[in-house]
Amino acid sequence: MIQKRFLTACLLAVSIFQAYSQTGVLRGFVYEATTGEPVISAFVTFQGVRMGAYTDEKGFYNVSNLPAGTYAAYSTLLGYDTSFAQVIIKTDIVAQNFYISATSKELKGVSVSAEKLRKSKEINISQTRINPVQLTRIPSVGGEPDLVQYLQVLPGVVFSGDQGGQLYIRGGSPVMNRVMLDGLTIYNPFHSIGLFSVFDSDILQSVDVYSAGFSSEYGGRISAIVDVKTRDGNKTEFHGKINSSPFNSKILLEGPLKKYEVGKSSSSFILSYKNSYLNKSAPLVYPFVNDGILPYSFSDLYAKIGFQSATGSNVDFFGFDYTDKVDFEESSSYAWKSRGLGTKFLLVPLNSKTIVDGSITYSNYFIEQKEINDQPRSSGINGYSVNLNFSRFFNGLDKLKYGLEMNGFRTEFQIYNSSNRRITQYENTSEINAFVNYLKNFNKKLLLEGGVRLQRYASLSETTLEPRLRMKYNFNSRWRFKASAGLYSQNLMSAVSDRDVVNLFYGFLSGPDDLPKTFLGKPVESKLQKARHAVAGFEFDINSISEINVEGYIKDFTQLTNVNRDKIFDDVPENVNRPRYLVENYIVEEGEAYGYDITYKLENKHWYIWTVYSFNIVNRYYEKEERIKYSTHFDRRHNVNIVNSYDFGKELAWTANVRWNFGSGFPFTLTQGFYEALDLSQGASTDITAENGELGIYYDDLNKGRLPYYHRLDASIKRKFKIKTKKENVFNKAEVIFSVTNIYNRENIFYFDRVNYKRENQLPLLPSLSASFSF
């Protein structure tokens, strides 16, 4: 009897296992039918079956655990027609690509708003995804839309100004934010005139900004991630675009190397070059601005060649050359160069449930600033990065991703602190990292993502284990709660002068070996900078076109490294008995950043409204003879951004954009007085009666002052034209944009010349007219 029951149980278990194992996988890509471009956020599903998946930035989708059978599959996205395919699922992997075309008709009951549906299917805590269309909603100051102008209106983002602008994200300084272009780290993504970034908006595919609590897939920074991805060149026809304005000009060329055909391999190229000549055009066009002196110039070159197989596997080769220069008369000159090249690939094996992607990159960056006091600052960083990632999809939205990354870089650095002491570093650094991340979907209500990142800093002989956790709970189709937490570390540090009202120079150093032995009475056991993040918030869909997002966050910077502002003696045996804070090159700090953001968004056929209020507090603590608290120079407590865009006219050929920004004043260090700084390096033999000293400055306590409030109104209006060609139904396009920066001519401070007691302001009222032609 027992044997029969055991045999029956075994047979039942085998039959259940066989039934469960008789499932297959449907996967592939969704492409734009006429150009071959991957379609992001398309939904692939089945008639009569409640299963499906969304495409990622590569256009890839994966539906796992499909019971064996025949299905009517289709791909849909609002604004496109619907593509159908009959697929037969067995116990293997079935590859099926879909090709959809843009349409003016909306297929009732089939096309859906992927943007709304995706919210319940992904954990987008502290994440903002930017597409190229959104960039056109911001006033095009100085010509074409630019990524840097849109980044300034994101929740938790603080920008330091029109000139020398830098990006601060939820309490993190620029070096704490990793900006990547196709997987390659960009060390300075913004030009000295803060209206432009190094990125050409016409070649962008998508930009993901993670302002806190990012997953284990990203590492090496303790504040935020900006992940920029570029598109491929046109695969069917040769196209180009030229643009010109008083600020800069641009040319873009793209086309097929092997023309795209449905179901076949293809290849293409894209080339973009931007050049600014504001230093030469300003005396003619803007003689009323600082007597026509706007000493800014830059150039940006980017090129990419892409190869794509019929199955969706692809490989890209890309390179860039970015330069920037500014020369303030009787003050300082500032210049940097950034160059890089790399390759990235995606491999989709036919008979494997795992897909593979990776990249190999190299970059070189050098910055130099020369002062009138003959104390030049310089910094260089160059190195390589190799990474390999594996993704495997399971039932529903479940996904496992893991990978390896190897980095190596060399830093060269020289700076003078506020006590005129020279600090240098020449260092080689290597890192080996690994991560694993798993996303689990529980009954379509709860999404839970857990991961861990292992960071091995070989040159420092340190290893960190960094767990990350992210979640989202869907109360219903309109209300969603989300949260995240994690540990983060980085080796790279920056050294800027906290005495400056506005900083133009950012030097890069690897974690120094000569840190103080103790901090606040506790031993310093690590040379890394570390932080802990916690974020929570909710999303609410007011209706089909508007939404509210609220998030609160805290970043606990448990260990930071900074250049010692108070060093006045060399670290030599003769000074062994002096207070260490007067001798050390570097100091250890800790800090905190916390606040909340409220975002309102409305978008329909004509209107785009984006409103953000951010409240932030950023504090740092260091040790002198006691624990001292100070505010960072980017501690802007209140920040408001209001964006309004309206499309109107026949075929919506007109677009009007307005943006208003309000921010409370930045902290700065007040000047108490001046004195003659004598060179006493010769000791008792120095003849002070014959010595001609330099002008020394006696500073108040660090960052106790506050600059005036900042606010500015920008606007632009754009007119689009269609120009007939010899080909039927084929048009070239032209655009004319008239923009005005600082409409009511607000005097916002740029910096203050302490020696000459002279205030320099940001850009005044500044009109601009630009034109572009696409062919």
Tell me the one-letter amino acid at 304.
K
pLDDT at site 353: 83
Amino acid at 752: F
**Of 36-45, 343-352, 651-660, which range is least confident?**
36-45
Once rounded to an integer, what is the mean pLDDT over residues 382-392?
Answer: 94
Q: What is the pLDDT of residues 718-767, one digit of tens each?
A: 999 999 888 877 889 999 999 999 999 999 987 777 777 888 788 889 89
Mean local confidence (pLDDT), 704-713:
92
b/e code 255-292 from CB counts within 10 Å (16+ = b): bbeeebeeeeebbbbbbbbbebebbebbeebbeeeeee
Lowest mean pLDDT among 186-190, 567-571, 709-713: 567-571
Select, from the ranges 29-38, 139-148, 400-409, the one with the highest average predicted confidence (pLDDT): 400-409
Q: According to the model, what pLDDT value does residue 24 have?
A: 84
Whether 664 and 748 have beta carbons less than 8 Å apart is answered as: no
Max Cα-Cα span within the chain: 114
Residue spans of beta strands (DSSP E) within 20-95: 23-32, 43-46, 49-54, 60-67, 69-76, 83-89, 93-95
Q: What number is the average pLDDT over the span 321-341?
A: 86
- Across the range 155-168, mean pLDDT stands at 82
Residue 682: per-residue pLDDT: 66
Mean pLDDT, residues 176-180 taken together:
95
206-209: long-range contacts at Cβ-Cβ below 8 A with a sequence spacing of 24 or more? 206/40, 206/57, 206/129, 206/130, 206/131, 207/129, 207/130, 207/131, 207/147, 208/127, 208/128, 208/129, 208/130, 209/127, 209/128, 209/129, 209/130, 209/151, 209/154, 209/169
Which of 455, 503, 367, 474 minimizes the C-alpha distance to 124?
Answer: 474
Of 741, 660, 743, 656, residue with least CA distance to 246: 741
Distance CA 243, CA 138 (A): 18
Residue 10 in this model has a pLDDT that exceeds 70: no
Q: What is the pLDDT of residue 570?
A: 77
Strands 239-244 and 766-774: antiparallel
Whole-number pLDDT of residue 15: 42
Q: Token pair for residue 353?
A: 């449930």
Q: Average the pLDDT over each of 213-227, 285-299, 601-615, 656-670 and give the range with the smallest value.
A: 285-299
CB atoms near residue 639 (< 10 Å):
24
> What pLDDT sits at residue 376?
76
Whether the predicted pLDDT of 385 surpasses 90: yes
* 59: DSSP letter: S
Q: Please indicate whether residue 376 or residue 644 has the higher confidence score (pLDDT).
A: 644
Backbone angles phi, psi at 656, to 5 degrees: -115, 130
How large is the average pLDDT for residues 407-429?
78
The Cα–Cα gap between 269 and 258 comes to 10
- Gap between the Cα atoms of 623 and 601, Å rounded: 44
Q: How far apart are CA 664 and CA 634, in angstroms?
A: 10
Please state, in angstroms and rounded to a whole number, the distance separating the CA atoms of residues 300 and 495: 26
- Rounded-to-5 percentages of helix, strand, coil across the chain: 10, 55, 35
**Tens digit of pLDDT for each residue in 485-512?**
999 999 988 766 544 545 667 778 887 8
Percent of the chain at pLDDT > 90 equals 47
Q: Is 33 in contact with 99 (CB distance < 8 Å)?
A: yes
What pLDDT is stored for residue 475 in this prediction?
Answer: 93
Give the tens place of pLDDT for each residue, 566-586: 777 877 788 878 887 788 878
CB 269 within 8 A of CB 255: yes
Per-residue confidence (pLDDT) for residue 18, from 0 to 100: 44
**Does residue 328 have a pLDDT over 80?**
no
Q: Convert the pLDDT of each residue in 60-88 to its tens digit.
A: 888 888 888 889 999 988 778 888 989 88
| Strand duo 23-32 + 98-100: pairing | parallel
Which residues are bridge partners to 519 per DSSP? 522
What integer pLDDT is reported at residue 194 of this predicted model?
77
Q: How confident is the model at residue 662 (pLDDT cuts 50, 70, 90)?
A: very high
**42-67 residue pLDDT tens:** 889 898 887 888 888 788 888 888 88
Q: Is the pLDDT of residue 212 over 80?
A: yes
Closest CA to 595 of 567, 612, 571, 614: 614
The amino acid present at 700, given as its one-letter code, is D
pLDDT at 606: 93
Phi, psi of 755 (to 5 degrees): -70, -45
Confidence of residue 438 (pLDDT cuts 50, 70, 90): very high
Q: Which of 236, 248, 25, 256 has its CA nearest to residue 140?
A: 248
Name which of 23-27, 110-114, 233-237 the model is least confident about. Answer: 110-114
According to the model, what pLDDT value does residue 185 have?
A: 93
Which residues are within 8 A (CB) of 706 and not within 5 positions of it... i.e. 6 or more apart?
664, 665, 666, 667, 668
CA–CA dist 689, 687 (Å, integer): 5
What does pTM read for this prediction? Answer: 0.89
* Cα(512)–Cα(527) distance, integer angstroms: 7
Give the C-alpha separation, 326 to 454, whole Å: 41
6 φ/ψ angles, rounded to the nearest 5 degrees: -65, -40
Within 10 Å of residue 422's Cβ, how many Cβ atoms? 11
Q: What angle do CA 497, 499, 505 make, to 5 degrees?
A: 30
Supply the DSSP string of 279-339, one letter for each residue. HHHHHHH-TTSGGG---EEEEEEEEEEEEE-TTS-EEEEEEEEEEEEEEETTTEEEEEEEE
- pLDDT score recorded for residue 93: 86
Calculate what percentage of the chain has a pLDDT beyond 70. Answer: 91
Tens-digit pLDDT profile for residues 79-126: 788 889 898 888 788 888 998 887 744 443 333 345 556 677 788 899
